[in-house]
Amino acid sequence: MYQTHLSITTPPDDAVIWRYMNLEKVLTLLCTQSLFLCRLDQFVDPWEGVWPRPFVEAIREGWPQKEQETFLDFSKEMCRSFFVNCWHEGAHESAALWDQYAKSAGFAIRTTVGRLKQCILDERHFFIGKIEYLDYDKQNVPELNMLRPPFLKRKSFQHEKEVRVMVWDIPTQKEGPIDWEQAQQNHTLRVNLSELIEELYASPTIDDWLMPHIRELLARFGLSNIPFKKSDLYAPHVY
């Protein structure tokens, strides 16, 4: 179930978003009928889920030693409780993201934020929010809220214009400190693919002989009604 939060900025329902995937991820999506959510500490970027430096410095200057250590240690472990599925916001295709995530045999789902909200069938709560890109050495965040770090990244990644689906899942136990080793490795959210996919694009450099086979594959999963075409990003110009 979609949830709102004052610290999370969700784009309007008509905002266009894209998910660029290789063939393996497309097959997984079709077979599982689910979105895969990766745990935040499993990403390559070591700054995922980390507070900006000015925020940490303010904590160290203004809080008692024991409280700051407890808070910062807890913040570090919290990365194990955030699970995200990543999208790109933009009215047009991104050449950079084709190259980064999909390459010669990749695909891109074009949809909207509204469709993404509606297509998720899972009963668990989830958030949808835009990433805010900061200079981590100079910029602070206005409030202390544990749901802020999963939607912050360094400016070096701002070309991604990322929108995330996020599930927050802290390991539960009856007593004592949280055993973070019991945290889930990943999560999935069941989806209605016909509702999710407004259009499906094949890579602009995909071999043409693959196209009919992909159409046949979509038909086998009951998705023959979904508009599917090869991206014309690198088609010859005609005036």
- Amino acid symbol at 10: T
Judged against a pLDDT cut of 80, whether residue 107 lies above it is answered with yes
Q: Is residue 11 part of a domain?
A: no
- Read off the amino acid at residue 108: A
The mean pLDDT value for 182-194 works out to 93
Residue 4 lies in a domain: no
Percent above pLDDT 90 for the chain: 86
Measured in residues, the chain has a length of 239
Instruction: Specify the pTM.
Output: 0.93
> Into how many domains does the chain fold?
1
Q: What pLDDT score does 49 carry?
A: 94
Residue 54 covered by a domain: yes
> Which conformational region is residue 238 in: left (phi greater than 0), alpha (psi within -120 to 50 degrees), or beta?
beta
Q: Does residue 2 lie in a domain region?
A: no
- Residue whose structure tokens are 């070309």: 159
Q: Which residues contact 35 (CB under 8 A, 6 or more apart)?
A: 29, 85, 120, 165, 188, 189, 191
Any domain includes 188: yes
Q: Which residue type does 230 have? A: K
Higher pLDDT, residue 47 or 172: 47
Q: Which domain holds residue 130?
A: 16-230
pLDDT range class, residue 181, cuts 50, 70, 90: confident
R_g (Cα) of the chain, nearest Å: 20
Please give the torsion angle defined by the CA atoms of residues 227, 198, 159 and 190, in that order, rounded to the nearest 10 degrees: -120
Residue 161 lies in a domain: yes
Count of CB atoms situated within 10 Å of the CB of 219: 12
Whether the CB-CB separation of 94 and 18 falls below 8 Å is answered with yes
Q: Has residue 199 been placed in a domain?
A: yes
Whole-number Å distance between alpha carbons of 87 and 161:
8
> Cα separation of 3 and 91, whole Å?
25
Is residue 83 pLDDT above 80, yes or no? yes
Banded pLDDT at 30 (limits 50, 70, 90): very high
C-alpha 212: how far from its chain's center? 29
- Which pLDDT tens digit goes with each residue over 128-154? 999 999 999 999 998 889 999 999 999
Can you say whether the dihedral through the CA atoms of 127, 128, 132, 137 is positive or negative?
Answer: positive
DSSP state of 112: E
pLDDT at position 237: 77
Whether residue 8 is contained in a domain is answered as no
